[in-house]
Chains A and B, each alone.
Chain A
Amino acid sequence: MGASQTRSESVYQELMDKTGFSLEQIKNLKKRFLQLSGNEETISRENLDAIPALANNPIRKQIIEAFFDKRNQRSSEVGHLEEIGFEQFVMVMSHFRPPALRTSVEEREVMRKEKLQFLFNMHDTDNDGVITLVEYRKVVEELLSKSGAIGHEAARAIADAAMLEVASTNVPDMAPDDFYEGITFEHFEQILKGLEMESRMHIRFLDVDTSTMRCGKSTS
């Protein structure tokens, strides 16, 4: 291996351990990061906003915001960042990393919980650990058309009905006048218990299998 190979590997080793990506995946993500940031050190919301393919996505604001949310950085901090560097970018991406060939049941559980936490954070915009009716309504409105088939009232009705359903499932003996604060993370996990996401909810990198390759300088 040439000198450049080991150097980049050691720089990214920490990142590889923290996020579970392979060296090649990190290098590719780095190239992409530089592309998005215009060769700068950090990415701002505007950089992500400018991606044309993302414009189609109804919840694009929430997705972009998720990158700047401190809760997704696996620390116990809360709040929002203005700009993120490459490490933080990869940390957020790691929620969607492809599972390694040999993952134990516990590891799969951990990954599943991570993905659910990510989705929960996306809905819980005020960081209080609970998805309230107001927050839920916002997501429904974003997903459904603001202008077209579904009007404001209909979207609200759908959100309210779904919320009621969640409440009745999770707090079965709630009196009709009780105020349901919102969906906690436990409730959230409960709702999505049956959802099969392991095989679907990750980015499928087109990888070359580096484990079978031999590096080495042949005599030249």
Chain B
Amino acid sequence: MEDVWAGALWALRVWLYLIVGLIMIPAMFGFSLGISETYMNILVKTLEWATLKIQRANTVERTLNVSASNSLIQRGNGSMEKELGELRRSRPKPPVGGDFTFSDCFYFTLKGIESIVEDEVTQRFTSEELVSWNLLTRTNDFQYISLKLTLVYGLGIFVRYCILAPLRITLALIGLSWLVIGTSAVGFLPNSSVKSWLSEWVHVMCYRICARGLSATIHYHNRENIPKKGGICVANHTSPIDVVILCNDACYAMVGQIHGGLMGVLQRAMVRSCPHVWFERAEMKDRHLVTKRLTDHVNDKTKLPILIFPEGTCVNNTSVMMFKKGSFEIGATIYPVAIKYDPKFGDAFWNSSKYSMVSYLLRMMTSWALVCNVWYLPAMHQQEGEDAVQFANRVKSAIAHQGGLLDLQWDGGLKRAKVKETFKEQQQKEYSSMVVGDDSSSNSD
């Protein structure tokens, strides 16, 4: 019994030393030992091999999947007037009293059925489909192809759950607790440039440890455009991990609601060392108060740039949805950032209606790795004669273009809410003016 305990303790110590030596120290000082690069290379080779095997075995499935991932049906491109006109032309003669017939119903019925078969918005809130299988059953269902592939898959499960996951969980715990301790410690110092330098160092270090905890490989592009103090950084939102990804490289001031529990502890600790903008739940509803606090923060040039996700919700990283105009009304310099995850190694999208935060994090930690690209775009300002909505759309297009994402006009809030009645009424108005307009020329009454 004693031996078992002694052995276990010894193993634990070795484990911890290994972690500290091989992962934490490099993370703290920002250099790399090359272990993750080797891991990634092996991973890429394995996945390519697996893909080839599946492709050879399943020619039919592969080609069909390719066509399915883009679009299901072909929709008519004509406007409402053109299509209705064509339908009506084939009728014998128009009735008196309004150019309205059943054929118009047909048009709307077809449009409705097309929407039911496929619509742009619902697609954005399910995970992206992969053309090939990346050995994770959560992405595609398991198909038995060959013994070798199944063995590799089994080995993959073992590696991911028994080796990688505990390692990552340990790292994440260390990173978070160090964040709390470090920022609280720095908070005791008097305000000075040393304090801000130390606080930035503590923040970046802890985020680096957390990033290692997710096996994240991040490629930063265009670092000359990195956000500067007194500005607002906007980015597209895919999951809460975006924060870790962005903060690995620079320091930002966060904006958000104060939570209770563990998050609350983190938030209160962070605000001790450098100013973040945390709101009470009641304050979030008051738009003027929110705008005022953000403006004050931005105007103080010593404070860090604010990080905001204007979509307001997590989207599945194939498109960018409508940006809410609040942050664009402040009039500060906007630094757009585009984040694109590589879906081959793991699906980073947080479907908050399907998974809770904890199960999402566990899924992240049992994926192969997280690979993403971050592009810093040049700063943008609101131009003369441009209102906040147009400015927001301009920034959104720039981000979508850089990241290779689809630029959509729909509101991300549609994930949970319904479309406003005003949209439906607009269509009705357009159609009725068509009917009445024609009517005035043919009506005899």
Smallest beta-carbon distance A137→chain B, Å: 12
Residues of A within 8 A of B197 (CB): none
B425 near A146 (CB under 8 angstroms)?
Answer: yes
Closest 3 pairs between A and B when the two form their complex, measured CB to CB: A161-B97, A55-B419, A158-B98
A201 near B106 (CB under 8 angstroms)?
Answer: yes
Q: Does A197 contact B (CB under 8 A)?
A: yes
B117 near A93 (CB under 8 angstroms)?
Answer: yes
Among the 9-residue stretches A24-32, A74-82, A101-109, A174-182, the one with 4 or more Cβ atoms under 8 Å from chain B is A24-32
Docked pose: A202 CA to B122 CA in angstroms: 22
Query: Which residues of B from 87 to 114 have beta carbons under 8 Å from A?
Result: 87, 90-92, 95-98, 100-106, 108-114
Across the interface, name the chain A residue whose C-beta is closest to B88. A195
Residues of B within 8 A of A133 (CB): none
Docked pose: A214 CA to B104 CA in angstroms: 43
Give A contacts to B, CB under 8 Å.
Answer: 1-5, 24, 27-29, 31-32, 35-36, 48-60, 62-63, 66, 93, 96, 115, 118-119, 122-123, 139-140, 143-150, 154, 157-158, 160-162, 164-166, 188, 191-197, 200-208, 210, 213-218, 220
Across the interface, name the chain B residue whose C-beta is closest to A29. B117
B425 near A145 (CB under 8 angstroms)?
Answer: yes
A57 near B112 (CB under 8 angstroms)?
Answer: yes
Residues of B within 8 A of A218 (CB): 56-57
Q: Does B41 contact A (CB under 8 A)?
A: no
Residues of B within 8 A of A31 (CB): 68
Smallest beta-carbon distance B175→chain A, Å: 34
Query: Which residues of B from 130 to 173 have beta carbons under 8 Å from A?
Result: 143-146
- Known A56-B424, A119-B105, A147-B425; contact A51-B119, beta-carbon cutoff 8 A: yes
A63 near B109 (CB under 8 angstroms)?
Answer: yes
A148 near B428 (CB under 8 angstroms)?
Answer: yes
Total B residues in contact with A, Cβ cutoff 8 Å: 72
Candidate in B112, B419, B426, B431 with the most chain A CB atoms within 10 angstroms: B112
Query: Which residues of B from 53 to 76 have beta carbons under 8 Å from A?
Result: 53, 56-61, 63-64, 67-68, 70-75
Residues of A within 8 A of B429 (CB): 145, 148-149
A119 near B106 (CB under 8 angstroms)?
Answer: yes
B113 near A203 (CB under 8 angstroms)?
Answer: yes
Smallest beta-carbon distance A156→chain B, Å: 11
Q: Does B115 contact A (CB under 8 A)?
A: yes
Known: A51-B119, A119-B109, A205-B73. 8 other contacts (CB 8 A): A24-B64, A32-B117, A122-B109, A123-B102, A149-B436, A195-B90, A200-B86, A208-B67
Residues of A within 8 A of B117 (CB): 29, 32, 93, 203
Q: Does B296 contact A (CB under 8 A)?
A: no
Residues of B within 8 A of A204 (CB): 73-75
Residues of B within 8 A of A150 (CB): 432, 435-436
A2 near B58 (CB under 8 angstroms)?
Answer: yes
Q: Does B262 contact A (CB under 8 A)?
A: no
Residues of A within 8 A of B414 (CB): 52
Residues of A within 8 A of B74 (CB): 204-206
Partner of B143, one of A2, A140, A208, A220: A2
Residues of B within 8 A of A29 (CB): 117
Residues of A within 8 A of B60 (CB): 1, 5, 210, 213, 215
Smallest beta-carbon distance B172→chain A, Å: 29
Across the interface, name the chain B residue whose C-beta is closest to A218. B56
Residues of B within 8 A of A32 (CB): 72, 117-118
Residues of A within 8 A of B111 (CB): 57
Across the interface, name the chain A residue whose C-beta is closest to B120. A53
Candidate in B102, B116, B427, B432 with the most chain A CB atoms within 10 angstroms: B116
A203 near B115 (CB under 8 angstroms)?
Answer: no
Residues of A within 8 A of B64 (CB): 24, 27, 208, 210
Residues of A within 8 A of B67 (CB): 206-208
- Known A149-B432, A161-B97; contact A53-B102, beta-carbon cutoff 8 A: no
Residues of A within 8 A of B423 (CB): 55-56
B119 near A52 (CB under 8 angstroms)?
Answer: yes
Q: Does B418 contact A (CB under 8 A)?
A: yes
A54 near B116 (CB under 8 angstroms)?
Answer: yes
Residues of B within 8 A of A205 (CB): 72-74
Partner of A144, one of B95, B144, B428: B428
Residues of B within 8 A of A3 (CB): 144
Partner of A96, one of B63, B102, B113, B143: B113
- 15 A-B residue contacts at CB 8 Å? A31-B68, A32-B117, A52-B122, A57-B112, A63-B112, A143-B104, A143-B432, A150-B435, A157-B97, A160-B97, A200-B83, A203-B113, A203-B114, A210-B60, A214-B59
- Known A58-B108, A63-B109, A162-B98; contact A148-B90, beta-carbon cutoff 8 A: no
- Known A161-B97, A208-B64, A220-B146; contact A50-B425, beta-carbon cutoff 8 A: no
Partner of A63, one of B75, B92, B113: B113
Docked pose: A146 CA to B432 CA in angstroms: 10
Residues of B within 8 A of A147 (CB): 425
